[in-house]
Amino acid sequence: MASDPDDDPRIGDISEGTVLRAILARTSTASHAILGPGDDAAVISAPSASVVATTDTLVDGPDFRAAWSSGYDLGWKAAAVNLADVAAMGATPTALLVALAVPRDARLSFVSAMADGFREACDALAPGCAVVGGDLTVSELLMIAVTALGDLGGRRSVTRAGARPGDIVALAGELGAAAAGLETLFGRFRDGETPIAVDADALDDTARQGLERQLRPRPPVRLGVVAADAGATAMMDVSDGLALDAGRMADASGVTIDFSGAAIDELAFAGDRARALAGGEDHGLLAVFPADAPLPEGFRALGSVTARGADGVLLDGAPIAHTGWDPYRDWDGVVG
Amino acid sequence: MASDPDDDPRIGDISEGTVLRAILARTSTASHAILGPGDDAAVISAPSASVVATTDTLVDGPDFRAAWSSGYDLGWKAAAVNLADVAAMGATPTALLVALAVPRDARLSFVSAMADGFREACDALAPGCAVVGGDLTVSELLMIAVTALGDLGGRRSVTRAGARPGDIVALAGELGAAAAGLETLFGRFRDGETPIAVDADALDDTARQGLERQLRPRPPVRLGVVAADAGATAMMDVSDGLALDAGRMADASGVTIDFSGAAIDELAFAGDRARALAGGEDHGLLAVFPADAPLPEGFRALGSVTARGADGVLLDGAPIAHTGWDPYRDWDGVVG
């Protein structure tokens, strides 16, 4: 943004109204908005007479490091992870609400770039969806809490609980790319314990691609509705790792999910099966389909559903550890 | 809660699932929920084919101090301020989503008490509304971001922009009570700059009442729909102070709002007119009604709307300062 600091004030030195006007100037009009930002609340169209709603937060520390993510990256990621949750119900995202807590010394350009990230993620992943409201407060710690709304278009929502023995398990999206990017960040861009700025030019193509997916994930939001229309019996987005999330789906459905190692190898980022099973944050769509129907575009078969056994998740018929991401336990370990 | 610390683990020592189960066990079923917590997203009934949505955040520091507010208080207040925003559109709150960032060393009992506060605020202020979804993360700083959804029941939303010359300005709720409570906290319960635990028994009835309103506000949520049905031409909730918020309504409507000092004195908490004009956080409903209709129950006339003059807000025909709450500017001053 502005190179002259006088043109790029600190958030703590300007009024809330000034910040909000700068953000709103960078916000698209949501095609589903009946009343947009600026009043006590927004009003969003809900043509199906129901609304899908989900919330997810990015917090400096457990979810990102300011040295590694630009404002644009953070806006993009905060939008993308919430859009994926709406898609995973078989719905079309209609609107985002953004609660932003920003340190006093953050620059206006940082917040403006975040607004750009929100807008461009919506335009790329869920056209017609946009930020319709929000809240801004000062805080010692940067936090971005997003609520995404969606419409089912008359469909029934696709939950995690509908998988049946005999169904096919399939995935749209990536496996392990975002986790590879996180490994690159922790492995390459630290000075001791302190995160340092990313130099993407220092990376080979594979590492750079993983990094892009970690910072700006591209979940296949459009395919949520496609899966619902193809008769998906269960669906969820993979945020905490394939094995862990599939275990949740298996538990909710009362079934066992048996993955094919060969199928996972084909999709695994950089051919790393362990990371494909355990790595989080790709936000692909894990969906289960009836065996007698063709898989919809964008989905690849990963295994099959069987009657519930001792384990909820198997790999080529054998138990695997439910390794995955629990921020309460894993982050310190990752940080070292 | 539990007196034995072994029975009351720290959030950082238990899994996210354990925390979520404890919260959900204390959450009512929202009568408007089609699909409640536990999946990628919730599904909420939107019988009017539109949904009212708003978000508001409480952050440790600018919005509360942990020494002054219990978990229960924080849950109550986070619910109440968002319910008031939905009511101010003329809508009935249907559901809350709660994004919670909690320090690792917080006790499970603290989070459970917060869930109790959410539930009881909804039951008291907006029966049928409940928490339908959320997100939990660890953070160095406690933050509660709430999104409230509501249904208009076929009504048009009541914005800030509809006030017309000749209309009557009225208020349901309190004026200055929450600000009096904040003054009590800063004046009585600090050790130097450090907030210390509140001893309500040390206070007289008036101070205790102000404190209760600061910690557990009771906005007249039910009266939002009543005002809409009575033909309100504009409405908003008073979160940042009567003069400041009325100025926003006047600007949005292109009118001037002329308050009666005598009418404000009648409603002013403890008879303090200056605090009634400037004090925030009461979350009463400021509404404008046609002059020829009787005011609905619960509303008291505060003044009249005139053609736009040089000032958006007048007191007995004379300009007043738009004093009110801007967290970017005021908090440091209040903290001292």
Q: Is pLDDT at A230 greater than 70 in this prediction?
A: yes
- Answer whether A185 touches B (CB < 8 Å): no
Q: What value does the mean pLDDT of chain B take?
A: 92
Average the pLDDT over B203-232 and give the result. 97
- Answer whether A238 touches B (CB < 8 Å): no
**Count of CB pairs separated by less than 8 Å, A with B:** 241
Among candidates B48, B149, B327 on the partner chain, residue whose Cβ is nearest the Cβ of A53:
B149
Alpha carbon A155 to its chain's center: 23
Among candidates A38, A41, A236 on the partner chain, residue whose Cβ is nearest the Cβ of B52:
A41
User: pLDDT at position B20, please?
Assistant: 85
Average the pLDDT over A299-307 and give the result. 98
Q: Which of B16, B23, B31, B55 to mutate: most A Cβ within 10 Å?
A: B55
CA dihedral B57, B58, B60, B62 (to 10 degrees): 90
**CB contacts, 8 Å: A56 with chain B:** 99, 135
Question: Quick one: pLDDT band at residue A21, thresholds 50, 70, 90?
Answer: confident
- The percentage of residues in chain A with a pLDDT greater than 70, rounded to a whole number, is 93
Among candidates A50, A101, A134 on the partner chain, residue whose Cβ is nearest the Cβ of B45:
A50
pLDDT digits (tens, 9 = 90+) for A42-83: 999 999 999 999 999 999 988 999 899 999 999 999 999 999
Residues B277-309 as b or e (16 or more Cβ within 10 Å = b): bbbbbbbbbbbbbeeeeeebebbeebbbbbeee
Cβ A53–B47 below 8 Å, yes or no? no
Q: What value does the mean pLDDT of chain A take?
A: 92
- The percentage of residues in chain B with a pLDDT greater than 70, rounded to a whole number, is 93
- Answer whether B182 touches A (CB < 8 Å): no
**CB contacts, 8 Å: A143 with chain B:** 59, 101, 139, 141, 143, 145
Among candidates B61, B99, B139 on the partner chain, residue whose Cβ is nearest the Cβ of A55:
B99
Question: Quick one: pLDDT band at residue B181, thresholds 50, 70, 90?
Answer: very high
Question: Quick one: pLDDT band at residue B323, thresholds 50, 70, 90?
Answer: low
Q: Is pLDDT at A161 greater than 50 in this prediction?
A: yes
- Most confident listed range (A17-21, A134-138, A331-335, B305-309): B305-309
Q: Is pLDDT at A232 greater than 60 in this prediction?
A: yes
User: pLDDT at position A330, please?
Assistant: 46
The CA distance from A243 to A286, in Å, is 11
* Pairing label, strands B50-59, A42-45: antiparallel
User: pLDDT at position B21, please?
Assistant: 85
User: pLDDT at position B62, please?
Assistant: 85
Cβ B46–A50 below 8 Å, yes or no? yes
Q: Is pLDDT at A333 greater than 70 in this prediction?
A: no
Return residues 116-155 of A near B (CB < 8 Å).
132-135, 137-141, 143, 145, 147-150, 152
**Distances from the Cα of B221 to the Cα of B63, B90, B124, B172, B283, angstroms:** 21, 9, 10, 10, 9
Q: Is pLDDT at A322 greater than 70 in this prediction?
A: no
Q: Is pLDDT at A121 greater than 70 in this prediction?
A: yes
The CB density around residue B319, as the number of other CB atoms within 10 Å, is: 12
Question: Quick one: pLDDT band at residue A195, thresholds 50, 70, 90?
Answer: very high
Average the pLDDT over A211-236 and give the result. 98
Alpha-carbon gap: A325 to the closest alpha carbon of chain B (Å): 10
Domain A168-335 has CATH 3.90.650.10: yes
User: pLDDT at position B241, please?
Assistant: 95
Reported CATH class of domain B15-151: alpha beta
Q: Is pLDDT at B167 greater than 70 in this prediction?
A: yes
Q: Is pLDDT at B335 greater than 80 in this prediction?
A: no
Look at the block and give the residue holding tokens 């729909």. Answer: B225
pLDDT digits (tens, 9 = 90+) for A279-300: 999 999 999 999 998 999 999 9
Three-class secondary structure of residue A10 per DSSP: strand
The CA distance from A90 to A153, in Å, is 9
User: pLDDT at position B336, please?
Assistant: 24
Where in chain B is CATH 3.30.1330.10? 15-151
pLDDT digits (tens, 9 = 90+) for B41-70: 999 999 999 999 999 999 998 899 989 999
Contact A19, A108 (CB under 8 A): yes
Alpha-carbon gap: B322 to the closest alpha carbon of chain A (Å): 14
The CA distance from B40 to B291, in Å, is 48
Average the pLDDT over B279-304 and give the result. 97
Residue predicted with more confidence, B216 or B323: B216
- Answer whether B88 touches A (CB < 8 Å): yes
Where in chain A is CATH 3.30.1330.10? 10-151
Q: Is pLDDT at A1 greater than 50 in this prediction?
A: no
Cβ B85–A55 below 8 Å, yes or no? no
Q: Is pLDDT at A206 greater than 60 in this prediction?
A: yes
- Answer whether A62 touches B (CB < 8 Å): yes
**CB contacts, 8 Å: B61 with chain A:** 138-140
- Answer whether B1 touches A (CB < 8 Å): no
Instruction: Compute φ and ψ for B169, nearest 5 degrees.
Output: -95, 130
ipTM score here?
0.91
Q: Which of A19, A21, A51 to mutate: most B Cβ within 10 Å?
A: A51
- The CATH architecture that domain A10-151 belongs to is 2-Layer Sandwich (3.30)
Residues A163-192 as b or e (16 or more Cβ within 10 Å = b): beeebbbbbbbbbbbbbbbbbbbeeebbee
End-to-end, the C-alpha distance of chain B in Å comes to: 35
pLDDT digits (tens, 9 = 90+) for B107-160: 999 999 999 999 999 999 999 999 999 999 999 999 999 999 999 999 999 999
- Answer whether A2 touches B (CB < 8 Å): no
Cβ B53–A97 below 8 Å, yes or no? yes
User: pLDDT at position B5, please?
Assistant: 59
Average the pLDDT over B22-28 and give the result. 88
Cβ B237–A38 below 8 Å, yes or no? no
- Answer whether B157 touches A (CB < 8 Å): yes
User: pLDDT at position A61, please?
Assistant: 87
Q: Which of A60, A64, A328, A330 to mutate: most B Cβ within 10 Å?
A: A328
Cβ A46–B51 below 8 Å, yes or no? yes
**CB contacts, 8 Å: A46 with chain B:** 46, 48-51
Alpha-carbon gap: B65 to the closest alpha carbon of chain A (Å): 13
CA neighbor of B270 nearest in space, from B183, B206, B186: B206
User: pLDDT at position B6, please?
Assistant: 67
Question: Quick one: pLDDT band at residue B171, thresholds 50, 70, 90?
Answer: very high
Q: Which chain B residue shows the shortest CA-CA distance from A331?
A: B138
User: pLDDT at position B331, please?
Assistant: 42
For the ranges A9-23, A237-251, B222-236, B253-267, the lowest mean pLDDT is seen at A9-23
**CB contacts, 8 Å: B95 with chain A:** 53
